[in-house]
Copies of this chain bind each other. A is one copy, B any other.
Amino acid sequence: MSQFQGVSVVKKANVYFDGKVTSRAVVFEDGTTKTLGIMLPGDYEFGTDTKEIMEIQAGDLKVLLPGETEWVHIQGEGEFVVPANAKFKLQVSAVTDYICSYIKE
């Protein structure tokens, strides 16, 4: 399915790193939230509150997950999971379009 249907969308964007990372929050009928985001090339560190499932729809980036020493390279499509209350690093080398799901456990 190419669309999320029957959802609410927050009008104002989330803006990080001088706009090099931006996202839009989508709220589902069951109260869960995802963000649809764009990352421009750059190096970033993020922290999680909840568990996050990051689905890469398009892009080129390397991911260093918490506790890991090896970067994972995603070109095109991919997915990775970050636990709650953790930090992870990204090296983005092409415009990256993602969906982030926030999983409350």
**Residues of chain A having any CB pair with chain B under 8 Å:** 2-13, 15, 18-20, 22, 24, 26-27, 36, 38, 40, 57-58, 95, 97, 99
Contacts and interface: CB of A to CB of B under 8 A. Distances in A.
A78 to B, nearest CB: 15
Nearest 8 CB-CB pairs, A to B? A19-B95, A3-B8, A5-B8, A13-B97, A22-B38, A4-B9, A19-B40, A3-B10
Contact of A97 (B3, B7, B15, B27): B15
A3 B11 contact: yes
A20 B41 CA distance: 11
A4 B8 contact: yes
A101 to B, nearest CB: 12
B13 A9 contact: no
Contacts of A15: 38, 95, 97
